[in-house]
């Protein structure tokens, strides 16, 4: 009998994997929080709060990474709302970052099926059925491993079904975009992952960022504490609401990197729960140390007390109601190991609401001092060498609300730009609650004034006469205006033209009538004009004291035209200007010249609008669509852009030569524009060469002009023009392949193939795309060159100026 039982057990053991493969993995749901069973033997439950949860109990762990078909019985019974979430433990505990919104669960249905992608092996799971009190039925939960093609087919079918059910243009566009990608995709693995981002997007209340988080937020590996690098986390506290304080402390305890200490300075809190919570946590973990201040001194004084407690090599700053990503410290340590010269490190960040939902990510550029003069783009997460912070004297009292901005500015003054590093990962979650500046700086008006004074002191220490100015409608963001000397240097405004007299007249008249800068000359370069009206107009303006006419009687080559003209210019500075530009801001030239006179500044570009007051040029991002593109194109005038960047002066890789100011000696040192690029990308190439030689290119929104003809520009519609454009694209990719893969003023989490500053699916690993992806982007650009879709990355973008300007 025992032998028979043993044989049966052996057979069952051998068959069990096959059975699971056919039927999937079943999970028993065990209540662990905010739940009460309404029927002793049934599956009807009542959620008693906003965070009900079940443990998913099974003998099948660990679940292998991959694609799964997911099914569950779930139905709301009392008209409440379900918002089911699945949480994964990838080996470091569970966290909001590693969760999946089960958006395929629909009201009025009991049995639900969908697709789930596990990015890593799963050691445990938790199921949260709702985010508010409600009564519901829940039954069987099952997960069955499936092949990627099967997963893609199921997701496409679901998108098609949503299209039919909703009847909206949005769902139609989503489905059609998915089918277009399917037909054109060469890499079906990448297609399935991209499709998952669409599939997991819950349109009604959660943005695409949540779908992006579901896919990529857990990316990254851990670092052993054996590295020996101790990170001291400085955290001042004062009357922190208990829930947020516990969440903050829990996020530190959840760190995958273990060699840290949490230095807490309580600033004489009057709320009794603060001491109880801090004592409980410090007794639980010896790495948590608390100093009880006798009197309230505000955040700077309290943080200095925490600084005095620190024993670590580096300091990480944490506000008492915010949260760290579980991989925050691990990511920092890994980056410091790879870049031991870094003395300051910062990461990307997002906001987290009262329900724990993350939103509004800030995917930042690499160190950008020009942008830092307009906003605090360093915090959060900010990490500093301990010795550096102590050397500058810690936090300054009197700068509360912007004390971290003030610290970053003072520390940066002692470093080379290469000693300040950026980790392009969201490692910090900024709590957005009433009274927090995450809700808006108006919540703490004193922070605005402290930021203004921090910038003023910073510029004073640098020995510059620049003025810090407030920006109307943007509290907490600033403009730094660099003055022009009383003895104004001459600016030579170079305007190539051919016929199109009405364009040139508008351009010249606007300069002469509106420009407040005194010392300039206008150098009009006539490239074989033949119309009588144009020739008459050129003769008439040649009599103006400020205007000279140069003849360029050679075939069109925009680079050569400008290079030849510059040789005849009298100015210390050169302004390259299209003949279809119209001045808006009277002080446009003062703004551009003020930046261009700074020793390490190369090219300076302006804000250009279409005639309908939408944005045409707000700087150039390289790599997008294979070579380069304009961000915010066609957005309304006054559009803020990503975290206000469309209204802030900043360093950028390139600016358009439709309006570009540069010192003449710098232009000549670079050899001018490359005449191999007759029409397209000559300005992008020029700006990249400037960066290669150590110059910073600056874009400012405070010099505003209209760019008239770009809004109706033609396309590359002849074989000769298309062949020329193809050659210029290949030239750029050949010369600047590495730079086009990683614009330091962009972010690898943002797309290179769609509208700039939208999310990348997937993000680029590290900072670079691979060569194969770059080839695909260039192929798409070349394929689109004869269509209106190419306008944003061809003539409209590159500093030239085709047939509508009369030059080609």
Lowest mean pLDDT of 221-225, 278-282, 307-311, name the range: 221-225
pLDDT of residue 3: 62
Predicted confidence (pLDDT) at residue 42 exceeds the cutoff of 80: no
How far apart, in whole angstroms, are the C-alpha atoms of residue 88 and residue 383?
Answer: 29
% of the chain surpassing 70 pLDDT: 84
Which CA distances in Å does 773 have to 62, 425, 668, 758? 34, 21, 35, 18
pLDDT of residue 711: 37
pLDDT of residue 636: 83
Average pLDDT over residues 161-174: 62
How far apart, in whole angstroms, are the C-alpha atoms of residue 623 and residue 629?
Answer: 8
| Confidence label for 424 from pLDDT (cuts 50, 70 and 90) | very high
pLDDT of residue 794: 36
| Confidence label for 433 from pLDDT (cuts 50, 70 and 90) | confident
What six digits make up the tokens of 646? 């469309």
The residue whose two tokens read 């020029």 is 686
How far apart, in whole angstroms, are the C-alpha atoms of residue 405 and residue 446?
Answer: 13
How far apart, in whole angstroms, are the C-alpha atoms of residue 672 and residue 657?
Answer: 12
pLDDT for 769-780, tens place per residue? 455 555 665 665
pLDDT of residue 788: 32
Most confident option among 472-476, 567-571, 719-723 = 567-571
Predicted confidence (pLDDT) at residue 168 exceeds the cutoff of 60: no
How far apart, in whole angstroms, are the C-alpha atoms of residue 652 and residue 39?
Answer: 63
pLDDT of residue 129: 92
How far apart, in whole angstroms, are the C-alpha atoms of residue 532 and residue 169?
Answer: 52
pLDDT of residue 216: 84
The one-character DSSP state at 741 is: H
Segment holding 121, helix H or strand E: none
What six digits make up the tokens of 387? 């010795």
pLDDT of residue 361: 94
How far apart, in whole angstroms, are the C-alpha atoms of residue 457 and residue 129?
Answer: 52
| Confidence label for 801 from pLDDT (cuts 50, 70 and 90) | very low
pLDDT for 287-303, tens place per residue? 999 999 999 999 999 99
**Are 225-440 and 491-805 the same fold in CATH?**
yes
Segment holding 573, helix H or strand E: strand 573-577
Which CA distances in Å does 114 have to 108, 144, 157, 196? 16, 11, 11, 11
Lowest mean pLDDT of 174-188, 242-256, 563-577, name the range: 174-188
More confident position, 134 or 767: 134
| Confidence label for 508 from pLDDT (cuts 50, 70 and 90) | very high
Predicted confidence (pLDDT) at residue 457 exceeds the cutoff of 70: yes
Predicted confidence (pLDDT) at residue 165 exceeds the cutoff of 70: no
SS3 718: coil
N residues, the chain: 808
Predicted confidence (pLDDT) at residue 12 exceeds the cutoff of 80: no
The residue whose two tokens read 């033997």 is 41
Predicted confidence (pLDDT) at residue 239 exceeds the cutoff of 80: yes
How far apart, in whole angstroms, are the C-alpha atoms of residue 437 and residue 430?
Answer: 9
| Confidence label for 225 from pLDDT (cuts 50, 70 and 90) | low
Strand bridging mode 344-352 / 420-431: parallel
Supply the DSSP string of 534-567, one letter for each residue: HHHHHHHHTTSTTEEEEE--SS--HHHHHHHHHH
pLDDT for 577-603, tens place per residue? 999 999 999 999 999 999 999 999 999
Which CA distances in Å does 459 have to 372, 410, 413, 525, 569? 12, 10, 10, 40, 33
Q: Is the peptide bond before 53 cis (omega within 30 degrees of 0)?
A: no
Supply the DSSP string of 254-265, one letter for each residue: T-S---EEEEEE
What six digits make up the tokens of 458? 């910073």
% of the chain surpassing 90 pLDDT: 65
The yes/no answer on whether domain 491-805 falls in CATH 3.90.550.10 is: yes
Lowest mean pLDDT of 168-182, 249-263, 275-289, name the range: 168-182
CATH of domain 22-146: 2.60.120.260
SS3 512: helix
pLDDT of residue 780: 58
How far apart, in whole angstroms, are the C-alpha atoms of residue 331 and residue 315?
Answer: 14
More confident position, 530 or 14: 530
Predicted confidence (pLDDT) at residue 125 exceeds the cutoff of 70: yes
pLDDT for 331-369, tens place per residue? 999 999 999 999 999 999 999 998 888 999 999 999 999
pLDDT for 385-421, tens place per residue? 999 999 999 999 999 999 999 999 999 999 999 999 9
How far apart, in whole angstroms, are the C-alpha atoms of residue 329 and residue 334?
Answer: 8
Segment holding 9, helix H or strand E: helix 2-23
The domain limits of the chain are 22-146, 150-216, 225-440, 491-805
How far apart, in whole angstroms, are the C-alpha atoms of residue 487 and residue 493?
Answer: 18
**Which one, of 532, 537, 471, lies nearest residue 504 by Cα?**
537
The yes/no answer on whether domain 225-440 falls in CATH 3.90.550.10 is: yes
Which residues on neighbouring strands pair with residue 324, listed in sequence order?
428
The CA R_g of the chain, rounded to the nearest whole Å, is 30
More confident position, 12 or 726: 726
Predicted confidence (pLDDT) at residue 97 exceeds the cutoff of 80: no
Give the mean pLDDT of the chain. Answer: 87
**30 in Cβ contact with 123 (< 8 Å):** no
Segment holding 477, helix H or strand E: none
| Confidence label for 443 from pLDDT (cuts 50, 70 and 90) | low
pLDDT of residue 49: 72
Predicted confidence (pLDDT) at residue 107 exceeds the cutoff of 60: yes
């Amino acid at each position: 009998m025992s032998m028979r039982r043993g044989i049966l057990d052996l057979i069952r053991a051998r068959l069990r994997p096959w059975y699971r493969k056919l039927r999937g993995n079943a999970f028993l749901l065990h209540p662990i929080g905010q739940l009460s069973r309404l029927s002793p033997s049934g599956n009807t439950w009542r959620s008693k709060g906003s965070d009900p949860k079940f443990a998913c109990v099974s003998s099948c762990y660990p679940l292998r990474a991959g694609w799964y078909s997911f099914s569950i019985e779930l139905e709301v019974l009392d008209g409440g709302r379900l918002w089911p979430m699945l949480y994964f433990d990838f080996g470091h505990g569970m966290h909001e970052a590693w969760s999946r919104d089960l958006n395929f669960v629909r009201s009025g249905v009991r049995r639900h099926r969908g697709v789930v992608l596990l990015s890593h092996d799963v050691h445990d799971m938790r199921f949260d059925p709702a985010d508010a009190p409600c009564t519901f039925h829940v039954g069987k939960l099952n997960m069955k491993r499936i092949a990627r093609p099967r997963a893609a087919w199921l997701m496409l079918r679901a998108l098609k079904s949503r299209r039919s059910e909703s009847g909206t243009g949005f769902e139609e566009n989503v489905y059609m975009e998915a089918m277009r990608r399917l037909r054109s995709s060469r890499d079906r693995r990448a297609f399935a992952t991209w499709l998952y981002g669409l599939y997991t997007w819950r349109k009604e209340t959660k943005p695409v960022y949540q779908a992006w988080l579901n896919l990529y937020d857990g990316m990254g590996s851990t670092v052993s504490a054996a590295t020996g690098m101790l990170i001291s986390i400085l955290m001042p506290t004062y009357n922190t609401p208990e829930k947020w304080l516990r969440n903050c402390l829990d996020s530190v305890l959840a760190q995958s990197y273990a060699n840290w200490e949490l230095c807490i300075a309580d600033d004489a809190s009057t709320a009794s729960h603060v001491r109880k919570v801090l004592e409980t946590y410090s007794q639980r973990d010896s790495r948590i140390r608390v100093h009880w201040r006798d009197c309230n001194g505000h955040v700077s004084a309290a943080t200095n007390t925490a600084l005095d407690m620190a024993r670590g090599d580096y300091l990480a700053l944490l506000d008492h109601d915010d949260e760290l990503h579980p991989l925050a410290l691990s990511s920092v340590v890994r980056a410091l190991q790879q870049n031991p010269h870094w003395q300051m490190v910062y990461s990307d960040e997002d906001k987290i609401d009262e329900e724990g939902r993350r939103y509004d990510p800030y995917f930042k550029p690499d160190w950008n001092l020009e942008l830092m003069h307009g906003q605090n783009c360093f915090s959060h997460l900010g990490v500093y060498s301990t010795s550096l912070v102590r050397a500058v004297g810690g936090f300054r009292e009197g700068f509360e609300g912007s004390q971290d901005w003030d610290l970053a500015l003072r520390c940066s003054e002692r470093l080379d730009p290469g000693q300040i590093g950026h980790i392009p990962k969201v490692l910090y979650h900024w709590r957005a609650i009433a009274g927090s500046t995450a809700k808006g700086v108006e919540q703490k008006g004193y922070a605005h004034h402290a930021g203004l004074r921090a910038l003023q002191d910073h510029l004073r220490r640098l020995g510059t006469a620049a003025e810090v100015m407030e920006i109307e409608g943007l509290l907490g963001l600033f403009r730094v205006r660099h003055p022009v000397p009383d003895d104004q240097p001459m600016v030579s405004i170079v305007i190539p033209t051919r016929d199109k007299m009405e364009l040139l007249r508008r351009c010249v008249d606007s300069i002469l009538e509106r420009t407040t800068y005194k010392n300039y000359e206008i150098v009009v370069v006539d490239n074989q004009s033949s119309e009588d009206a144009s020739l008459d107009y050129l003769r008439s303006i040649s009599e103006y004291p400020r205007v000279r006419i140069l003849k360029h009687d050679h075939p069109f080559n925009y680079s050569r035209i400008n290079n030849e003209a510059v040789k005849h210019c009298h100015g210390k500075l050169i302004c390259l200007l299209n003949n279809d530009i119209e001045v808006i801001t009277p002080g446009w030239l003062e703004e551009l010249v003020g930046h261009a006179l700074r020793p390490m500044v190369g090219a300076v570009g302006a804000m250009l609008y279409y005639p309908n007051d939408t944005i045409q040029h707000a700087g150039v991002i390289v790599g997008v669509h294979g070579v380069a593109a304009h961000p915010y194109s066609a957005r309304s005038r006054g559009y803020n852009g990503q975290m206000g960047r469309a209204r802030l002066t900043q360093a950028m890789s390139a600016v358009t030569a439709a309006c570009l100011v540069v010192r003449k000696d710098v232009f000549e040192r670079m050899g001018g524009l490359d005449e191999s690029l007759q029409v397209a990308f000559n300005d992008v190439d020029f700006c990249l060469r400037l960066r290669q030689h150590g110059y910073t290119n600056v874009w400012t929104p405070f010099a505003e002009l209209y760019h008239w003809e770009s809004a109706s520009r033609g396309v590359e519609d002849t074989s000769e023009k298309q062949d020329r454009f193809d050659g210029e694209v290949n030239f750029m990719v050949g010369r600047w392949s590495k730079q086009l893969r990683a614009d330091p003023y962009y972010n690898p989490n943002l797309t290179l193939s769609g509208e700039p500053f939208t999310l990348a699916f997937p993000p680029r690993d590290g900072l670079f795309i691979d060569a194969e992806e770059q080839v695909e982007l260039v192929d798409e650009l070349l394929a689109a060159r004869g269509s209106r879709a190419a306008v944003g990355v061809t003539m409209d973008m590159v500093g030239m100026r085709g047939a509508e300007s009369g030059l080609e």
